[in-house]
Amino acid sequence: MDLGVLRKVGHNEQVEVTTPVIITWHNGKSRMVGAFRALNTYTIPDRYPIPRIHETLTQLSQAKFITAMDALKGFNLNGLTDNSKKLLRIIVHCGIFEYIRMTFGIKNAPSHYQRMMNTIFPEELSEGWMLIYL
């Protein structure tokens, strides 16, 4: 909640919820995400192309310089529509919360994020000196 990714749902709001899952990263840190598998089965896939690792590595093999940058909590930079928020609710011991920013585990989140990055950096991508890989 401190990061502005979740908000507590009021008692009088209609509720559809899922349970949270704790994910542990390779560095030992953990984070909570919603278990959105059921929602994902009903989601129409966004077929926006995401670069394949083989193609990206081929392009990198010809680079003179390589710099890697990480967009910290990149998915969380995207706001959600009110209708989307209602579908992205989780229940925990202290209440019901909804995501107000895009979260991990949503079927179309990677495609949406790739599209956003391609829209932000069209010149750099077309000139060939920048690659975006999720």
Q: What is the mean pLDDT of each run of 10 residues along the chain (134 residues)?
A: 78 79 87 88 95 91 88 84 90 88 91 94 93 88
pLDDT of residue 20: 86
pLDDT of residue 111: 94
Chain-centroid distance, C-alpha 37: 15
SS3 18: strand
Three-state DSSP string of 87-126: HCEEEECCEEEEECECCCCCCCHHHHHHHHHHHHCHHHHH
Residue 21 in domain:
yes
pLDDT of residue 53: 92
Residue 1 in domain:
no
List the beta bridge partners of residue 89. Answer: 98
Residue 12 in domain:
yes
Residue 22 in domain:
yes
Residue 90 in domain:
yes
Number of Cβ within 10 Å of residue 94's Cβ equals 7
Residue 132 in domain:
no
Number of domains in the chain: 1
pLDDT of residue 94: 86
DSSP 8-class letter at 76: G
* Whole-Å CA distances, 134 to 57, 67, 71: 13, 15, 10
Which structural domain, as residue segments, surrounds residue 55?
Answer: 6-127
pTM over 0.95: no
pLDDT of residue 3: 66
Distance CA 90, CA 33 (A): 9
pLDDT of residue 113: 92
